[in-house]
Amino acid sequence: MNTWLIIAVDGVAFASWLFLISVGMTLIYGVLRILNVAHGSLYALGAYTGASLIIAYFRHDLWPYGSYLVLFGAALLVGVIAGPLIERGLLRWVYDRDPAVQLLVTYALFLILEDAIKLGWGADPYYAYKPYQLLGQVQLGGIAYPRYSFLLLGIAVAAGGALWLFINRTRFGKLIVAVIEDPEISTAMGVNVPRVYVITFTLGAVLAALGGAFTAPMISVAPGIAVEVIVLAFAVVVIGGLGSLEGAALGALIVGIVRAAAVHHIPDLELFAIYLVMAAVLLVRPQGLFAREERRRI
Amino acid sequence: MRKSHIVVRSRGIFAGMLIGAIILSLLAACAPPVTVPEAGMGETPAAAPAAPTAGAPSQVKIGIVTFLSGPGSPFGIPSKNAADVIVEALNAGQAPAPYDQAGIGGVPIQLVYVDESGGPDKQVAEYRRLVLDEKVDLVLGYVSSASCLAVAPVAEELQKLTVFYTCATRRIFEEASYKYVFRTKGTDLVYNVGAARYLLKVKPDLQTIAGMNQNYAWGQDSWTAFRDTVLQLKPDVQVVSEQFPKLFAGEYSAEISALLVARPDAIHSSFWGSDLEAFLIQATPRRLFDQSIGVFIIGEAMLPSLGEDVPPGLIIGAEGTHGALAPDNELNRWFTRIYRERYDARPIHPAYHMALTLFGVKAAYEKAIAENGGKWPTQDQVIAAFEHLEFDSPSGVIQMALANGHQAIEPMAFGITGEFDPAAGEVKLTDRMVFPAECVNPPEGMKGEEWIAQGFPGAKCP
């Protein structure tokens, strides 16, 4: 019983991280119908910016818990600057192109940003783990867990919840849904479609950077972190159904629990666990768990 | 396919972008590699050689391949840094004896760099370009074992002297023999045999072990060698957990939980690069190393980067006697000094591996010149001089003893993390112990697995 409690905690902790790194990708796909490979780069930008700001923050004798606000600030900064730049500067030229071309364009952007990050931050790793250690540990099932994992869970739930309310309970959310249904009719009805696209992409970019910024204290922020995230986020998004918010949440949870169970019981399977889930889901529901037949995707 | 979009755009723009991208990528593919002016190129006037070498070329052109980008760059960049400062000093004739003759036999060295990122196929293409287009005299390099395994047969085909500097897989010389390929450092087997012996020295009552290794050849081979050595030396030890996270996963909370539950006496890890530090950052606050001894076979690289946050009591290796575990000899003091002056950091073990290849090549060339009556040697003469060579290095004496003189054997050093030393900016290693090369290397012609399984025949251990 005890092991299952530990698996549940590990699974939920990993799931919250997975959800944070993939929710932006599914949102952008849902509205813009573009599978954004550069999502990983936005995550990396968030991580590097977060790490740099945290390092600078702790050089001064400031209130240590303020560092969490700094991480939020880093995510906003990256998303609000990079989002509109990428969407207006690049993506809007390829909306009516073949999906393969769109994929190539975002992949090219990913490669460019990878090198841009190296130019900006160099190849040396950055460490900003003070916020991770600040909260201490809590004993669960006889072993110590970092409280930071629960902070991540809180952020993931808050981000997911806020996004759901934004789309389902606000006027702008209704516009997004309208644009998803039919961009042309929306334009005819007076909806400023390009504005919806810019805001949505920026929101997705902020979410990607948020995932990066709050991951930075747990890892060594070094070249190559973007690639890992793209693969994982893509798997989660495909399991949940491209463009589905609920799907990303459920997909992350399933992958998190299955992976944790594998780690504790069949470690050799861990590497394969996420793809096993993906294959099983796609066999039963090729469109993913939550992608419905109708056009509504979010 | 989405419907035609609101904003009408010219398809020409995108077509232009695509063509531009293709042209750019073609240009990038044909672009000359990064050359380093300060290392050769005639910028540094070479000191006059003691005796001019007859028939010498105007320069020795060396292609250097390592990770200049991607997750391997924390290993690759210090290696490049080492090559730059050492070659500059060699060209100026400022290195200590026995390397005080300028360049190689009085001939200045020129370096040509290639980034190792992009996978083995790309490396094979890059290697051919270095040899056929750049006309390098030799190639030094490769971090990834996959690169080494792919390049070795091509080196034979093109008949070009190639020295592997830090890739560790023992399969290279265990599964084939080469004329043109050398390696100036030990294999993955050696680190793990040494680590297992050291662990049993410091904890003779060891009962349980666990592994935390990346799920690819290096991680799997390392764990197998370590586990089998421990079980061979102390058969009653139990293996309680074998974790194999994905390479560069970066997030290890579930594995750490599993290790906390398993409560092994010792945890073996061959982690390197950013994975190593991420694991430490996540495991230390959860008290993993309060209940288990961490055995980080190549953990030395994280000492400068994690500073005072490295917990005490970890067993640390450095792929030999390098970095924080290097001996106190004149070459090491000199190397550490020039590196620190230039980069404001101390060299970590990959930088030492780069130093090994450069000094090994210089020693082989100069021995060949001496054997050739002071005349510039052919490549075959250099290879003959390199085989079974013993040469001085910042890491001590290196012997090219295995694989018909193509594979080096090195002693293995380990230490235990202790107090933080503010002056050095990193924790001190205590209980340093060196296992001689004859203790941790199998005899000529015997595969690592057989050697362990047969109980280490021929090993001479302290």
Measure the CA–CA gap between B59 and B111, rounded to whole angstroms: 10
Q: Where residue B273 falls among pLDDT bands split at 50, 70, 90?
A: confident
Of B365, B372, B354, B413, nearest to B389 by C-alpha is B365
Q: How far from B33 is each of B28, B30, B91, B162, B446, CA to CA, in Å? A: 9, 9, 21, 18, 40
Q: Decide: helix, strand or coil at residue B400.
A: strand
Q: Is the confidence at residue B440, as pLDDT, over 50? A: yes
* A-interface mutation test, from B257, B290, B344, most A Cβ less than 10 A away: B257
pLDDT score at A224: 82
Measure the CA–CA gap between B335 and B82, rounded to whole angstroms: 9
The average confidence (pLDDT) of chain A is: 91
Q: Are B248 and A127 an interchain contact pair (Cβ–Cβ within 8 Å)?
A: no
Q: Where residue A3 falls among pLDDT bands split at 50, 70, 90?
A: confident
Measure the CA–CA gap between B253 and B227, rounded to whole angstroms: 24
Cα atoms found within 13 Å of the Cα of residue A278, Cβ hemisphere only:
15
Q: Alpha carbon A21 to chain centroid distance?
A: 2
List the beta bridge partners of residue B111.
B62
Q: Where residue B16 falls among pLDDT bands split at 50, 70, 90?
A: very low
Segment holding B113, helix H or strand E: strand B109-115
pLDDT score at A227: 86
Q: Is the confidence at residue B21, as pLDDT, over 60? A: no
pLDDT score at A20: 93
The predicted model scores a pTM of: 0.86
Please report, as a single letter, which amino acid is at residue B25. Answer: S
Percent of chain B at pLDDT above 90?
78
Contacts of B122 in chain A (CB under 8 A): none
Residue-wise pLDDT tens digits, A49-90? 999 999 999 998 889 899 999 999 999 999 999 999 999 999
- Rg of chain B (C-alpha set): 23
List the beta bridge partners of residue B34.
B113
pLDDT score at A220: 87
The answer to whether B281 faces chain A, any CB pair under 8 Å, is: yes
Contact B75, B350 (CB under 8 A): yes
Query: Shortest CB distance from A224 goes to which of B4, B9, B248?
Result: B248
List the beta bridge partners of residue A138.
A145
Q: Judging by beta carbons within 10 Å of its beta carbon (0-12, 13-18, 19+), is residue A102 exposed, middle or buried?
A: buried
List the beta bridge partners of residue B295.
B268, B315
pLDDT score at B69: 78
Q: Which has the minimum average pLDDT: A196-200, B143-147, B331-335?
A: B143-147
Contacts of A218 in chain B (CB under 8 A): 250-251, 278, 281-282
Please report, as a single letter, which amino acid is at residue B289. Answer: F
What is the crossing angle of helices B217-233 and B145-158, to 10°?
A: 110
Residue-wise pLDDT tens digits, B55-97? 889 999 999 999 987 778 888 999 999 999 999 999 999 999 8
Q: Where residue A228 falls among pLDDT bands split at 50, 70, 90?
A: confident
Do β-strands B109-115 and B34-35 pair in parallel, antiparallel, or remain unpaired?
antiparallel
Question: What are the start-end ranges of the E strands in B195-303?
Answer: 208-212, 238-243, 266-269, 293-296
Quick check: bond before B98 cis, omega within 30?
A: yes
The average confidence (pLDDT) of chain B is: 88
Give the DSSP letter of residue A14. Answer: H
pLDDT score at B12: 40
Q: Decide: helix, strand or coil at residue B424.
A: coil
* A-interface mutation test, from B5, B252, B309, most A Cβ less than 10 A away: B5
Residue-wise pLDDT tens digits, B358-369? 999 999 999 999
Residue-wise pLDDT tens digits, B162-204? 999 999 999 999 999 999 999 999 999 999 999 999 999 999 9
List the beta bridge partners of residue B317.
B414
Of B9, B418, B442, nearest to B190 by C-alpha is B442
Q: Could you tell me which residues come within 8 angstroms of residue A154 by beta carbon, excluding any fewer than 6 positions away?
A: none
Give the DSSP letter of residue B52. Answer: P
Q: Which has the minimum average pLDDT: A26-35, A112-121, A285-294?
A: A285-294
Contacts of A149 in chain B (CB under 8 A): 253
Q: What share of chain B is helix, strand, coil (3-state, %, to 5)?
A: 45, 20, 40
Residue-wise pLDDT tens digits, B370-428? 999 999 999 999 999 999 999 999 999 999 999 999 999 999 999 999 999 999 999 99
Q: Is the confidence at residue B22, as pLDDT, over 90? A: no
B412: left (phi over 0), alpha (psi -120 to 50) or beta: beta
Question: What are the start-end ranges of the E strands in chain A?
Answer: 126-127, 137-140, 143-146, 220-221
Q: Where residue B5 falls among pLDDT bands split at 50, 70, 90?
A: very low
Residue-wise pLDDT tens digits, A260-295? 999 999 988 888 888 889 999 999 998 888 875 555
pLDDT score at B250: 85
Contacts of B258 in chain A (CB under 8 A): 263-264, 267
Measure the CA–CA gap between A43 and A64, rounded to whole angstroms: 24
Residue-wise pLDDT tens digits, B28-62? 333 333 333 333 333 333 444 445 577 889 999 99
